[in-house]
């Protein structure tokens, strides 16, 4: 299966994007497809490898004649080769029609040349509506679909036919002006959103035998050496082999405070070098780099639609036919049973058509959700779909892992206890370190680190002893076992009433010593739990640590629901119990590291991983990824989700309310067609600008 991505130009209608996506989905050779109106992009998966672009191009042209596609990063030369008339005929016809129509209006007011005035207004309206009518006919004939182009064309032609040429002229004039303003507003929003995605440099300074050459990041293999000067954006993940600098990592974590970094440390792509020169050995390709992963997540998030967005999308395909049917009914009803005459009855039916154009709803809903996802990304929160952003607003319970989530995960050895007279504290520490050096768990790292610190005082014999350990086996959620000098050694979780984490050291099933460690609570943990409690959201803590430690940490943070001494499978079953308590539309989130807690992250309604840390497993498993370990971002995400849902609700209620009001006013003859157009255009612009508020939320 291969994925193709194309940029689509000239797509100024959200419903058009839905029509293109629907048509592509109907093709047998298409496995999956998403047309993102907000960033003008098509993503398509298919087993085919030939003629894909040409086939997609043909389908797009059939569904949306004004839209054109091109491959990502490919220059568009076709537009440049078009003649002046082909490039500007719409503007010229609109301008000519406006001038002729205006002359016709003036003649009607200033002279007695009524017939000439009428003819000029009809010609002016015809020139301005020709493009809209062409779109309507092409879509009806080629794609068997009808949309707002047909609604407006019927209204303009109908107004002229019943002798309301002035109304017809004003309708198409205001409609085209409105479409221009709408396109400008959408384009402005696209640029704001695009700026969030353009944090990836197009070139990288590659160190070669002949010196430094600027090349595309896509051509740089793993293990290459790149140079990053002050002001440059790091293009690829890697390890610093020379130099030191301060990095702005706001595009990754949402935090603008500079981070000092030096030789031997890892650096993520997307970071901005504020000073100094860095020489970096790359550890990722362009495809696998951190910044590419982030961009892909943000761009593809629109494919997972929220429930509200899905309902609007499904309803849109039936909307226009229903509206036309109702308009015909209104026109005929007053003509037969009313006293206003056939022409006036038809006129009111056409008012109904104009105000019914669904642009405000079709554009504002996806734009609101994508703005929310873009804003979250800017703050260092990666949301993998508008459905997850929507779900966060309905949180009723949040389950936290302890180590590395509520606590820093950076343990310190506070005490070593010997339970065998033949063993010293140093012997216990050394024995534990031989096993723990094979683990990446934070506790294991703390023990090994403490051992090395102690050995630095008396000479390091650590490396000699590690070679003697054999049959090393990691026991999930318990510890490590290995053989040393013919003896069976176990290093793992111990039982204790102490509020410290305890690691037992056993030889042949006999405990010879204990190591006590303490973990530090994260800075914003208390504030985050207090926020959720204030919002009526229950917090739980699941941990494999002993009960005394778990209760001590929970009490300090403010969590009342605690489950301790858990194995990974215990967490899954306990999460099931929490989920069973949820009522309809209530959501439960699990917050963990995204690797050890993969099963519960997947089972929860919303899986939230703390810190990207370059882990592919974290990205693949979680629904939301926090780019750093700041728990306060959870409250930021909840506020943003709530605000996004509020904006979507405002747009829907406002749009439907205004349309319904003008439908009634037009039907009973209080407002005319011109007012209907003004209301429709103004409504669309208002909902677009309201949606942008989500992107600007601090």
Catalytic residue IDs: 401
Residue 69 pairs with which residues in a beta bridge? 8
**How far is Cα 108 from Cα 122, in angstroms, rounded to an integer?**
13
Q: Is the CB of residue 217 less than 8 Å from the CB of residue 289?
A: yes
Closest CA to 37 of 67, 57, 65, 59: 67
Q: CA torsion angle for 602, 603, 605, 608 (degrees, to 10)?
A: -40
% helix, strand, coil for the chain, step of 5: 55, 20, 30
**How far is Cα 671 from Cα 668, in angstroms, rounded to an integer?**
8
Tokens found for residue 285 = 């390709």
Tokens found for residue 244 = 């030191």
All residues at 6 or more sequence positions from 306 whose CB lies less than 8 Å from its CB, including other chains: 369, 385, 386, 387, 389, 390
Strands 381-383 and 624-626: antiparallel
All residues at 6 or more sequence positions from 433 whose CB lies less than 8 Å from its CB, including other chains: 447, 448, 451, 462
**How far is Cα 338 from Cα 2, in angstroms, rounded to an integer?**
61
Burial tier of 73 (Cβ tally within 10 Å: 0-12, 13-18, 19+)? exposed
**SS3 for 51?**
coil
Closest CA to 201 of 212, 217, 186: 217
DSSP 8-state secondary structure symbol assigned to residue 226? E
**How far is Cα 271 from Cα 627, in angstroms, rounded to an integer?**
13
Closest CA to 344 of 678, 105, 673: 673
Q: What are phi and psi of 357, to 5 degrees?
A: -50, 125
Closest CA to 255 of 272, 238, 269, 234: 272
Q: Is the CB of residue 224 less than 8 Å from the CB of residue 206?
A: yes
**SS3 for 491?**
strand
Q: Is the CB of residue 297 less than 8 Å from the CB of residue 384?
A: yes
Q: Provide the edge-to-edge strand list for the sheet that holds 510-518.
A: 412-418, 510-518, 501-507, 487-493, 479-484, 469-475
Q: Is the CB of residue 435 less than 8 Å from the CB of residue 491?
A: yes
**How far is Cα 18 from Cα 21, in angstroms, rounded to an integer?**
5
Look up tokens 């051992």; give the residue: 451
**How far is Cα 693 from Cα 672, in angstroms, rounded to an integer?**
32
Written in H, E and C, the secondary structure of 440-484 is CCHHHHHHHHHHHHHHHHHCCCHHHHHCCEEEEEEECCCEEEEEE
**How far is Cα 105 from Cα 114, in angstroms, rounded to an integer?**
10
**How far is Cα 391 from Cα 584, in angstroms, rounded to an integer?**
12
């Amino acid at each position: 299966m291969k994925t193709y991505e194309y940029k689509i130009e000239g797509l100024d209608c959200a419903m058009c994007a839905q029509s293109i996506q629907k048509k592509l989905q109907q093709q047998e050779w298409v496995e999956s497809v998403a047309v993102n109106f907000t960033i003008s992009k098509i993503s398509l998966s298919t087993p085919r490898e030939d003629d894909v672009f040409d086939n997609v191009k043909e389908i797009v042209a059939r569904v949306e004649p004004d839209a054109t596609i091109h491959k990502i990063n490919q220059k568009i030369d076709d537009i440049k080769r078009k003649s002046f008339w082909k490039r500007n005929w719409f503007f010229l016809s609109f301008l000519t029609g406006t001038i002729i129509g205006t002359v016709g209006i003036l003649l009607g007011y200033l002279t007695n040349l009524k017939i000439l005035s009428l003819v000029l207004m009809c010609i002016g309206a015809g020139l301005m509506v020709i493009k809209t009518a062409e779109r309507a006919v092409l879509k009806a004939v080629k794609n068997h679909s009808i949309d707002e182009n047909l609604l407006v064309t019927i209204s303009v032609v109908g107004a002229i036919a019943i002798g309301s040429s002035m109304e017809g002229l004003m309708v198409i004039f205001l409609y085209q002006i409105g479409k221009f303003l709408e396109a400008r507003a959408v384009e402005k929003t696209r640029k704001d959103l695009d700026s969030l995605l353009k944090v990836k440099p197009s070139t990288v300074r590659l160190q070669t035998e002949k010196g430094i050459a600027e090349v595309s990041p896509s051509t740089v293999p793993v293990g290459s050496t790149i140079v990053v000067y002050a002001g440059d954006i790091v293009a690829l993940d890697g390890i610093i082999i020379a130099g030191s600098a301060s990095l702005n990592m706001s595009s990754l974590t949402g935090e603008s405070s500079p981070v000092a970094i030096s030789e031997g440390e890892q650096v993520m792509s997307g970071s901005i070098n504020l000073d100094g020169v860095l020489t970096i050995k790359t550890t990722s390709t362009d495809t696998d780099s951190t910044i590419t992963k982030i961009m892909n997540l943000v761009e593809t998030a629109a494919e997972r639609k929220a429930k509200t967005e899905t309902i609007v999308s499904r309803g849109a395909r039936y909307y226009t036919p229903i509206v036309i049917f109702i308009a015909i009914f209104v026109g005929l009803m007053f003509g037969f049973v009313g006293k206003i005459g056939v022409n006036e009855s038809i006129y009111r039916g056409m008012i109904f058509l104009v105000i019914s154009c669904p642009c405000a709803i079709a554009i504002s809903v996806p734009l609101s959700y994508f703005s929310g996802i873009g804003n979250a990304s800017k703050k260092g929160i990666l949301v993998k779909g508008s459905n997850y952003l929507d779900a966060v607003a309905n949180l009723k319970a949040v389950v936290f892992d302890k180590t590395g989530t509520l606590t820093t995960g950076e343990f310190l050895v506070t005490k070593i206890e010997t339970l065998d007279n033949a063993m010293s504290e140093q012997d216990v520490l050394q024995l534990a370190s031989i096993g723990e050096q094979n683990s990446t768990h934070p506790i294991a790292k703390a023990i090994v680190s403490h051992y090395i610190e102690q050995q630095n005082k008396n000479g390091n014999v650590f490396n000699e002893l590690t070679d003697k350990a054999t049959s090393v086996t990691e026991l999930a959620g318990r510890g490590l076992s290995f053989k040393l000098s013919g003896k069976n050694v176990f290093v793992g979780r111990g039982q204790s009433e102490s509020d410290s984490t305890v690691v037992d050291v056993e030889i042949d099933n006999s405990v010879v010593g204990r190591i006590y460690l303490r973990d530090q609570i994260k800075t914003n943990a208390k504030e985050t739990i207090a926020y959720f409690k204030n919002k009526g959201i229950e917090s739980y803590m699941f941990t494999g640590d002993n009960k005394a430690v778990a209760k001590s940490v929970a009490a300090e943070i403010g969590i009342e629901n605690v489950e301790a001494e858990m194995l990974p499978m215990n967490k899954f079953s306990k999460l099931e119990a929490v989920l069973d308590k949820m009522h309809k539309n209530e959501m439960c989130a699990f917050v963990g590291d995204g690797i050890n807690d993969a099963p519960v992250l997947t089972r929860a309604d919303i899986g939230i991983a703390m810190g990207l840390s370059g882990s592919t497993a974290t990205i693949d498993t979680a629904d939301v990824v926090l780019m750093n370990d700041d728990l306060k971002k959870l409250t930021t995400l909840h506020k943003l989700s709530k605000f996004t849902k509020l904006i979507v609700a405002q747009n829907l209620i406002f749009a439907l309310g205004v349309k319904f009001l003008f439908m009634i006013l037009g039907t009973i003859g209080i407002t005319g067609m011109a007012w209907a157009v003004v209301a429709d255009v103004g409504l669309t612009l208002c909902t677009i600008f309201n949606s942008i508020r989500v992107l600007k939320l601090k």
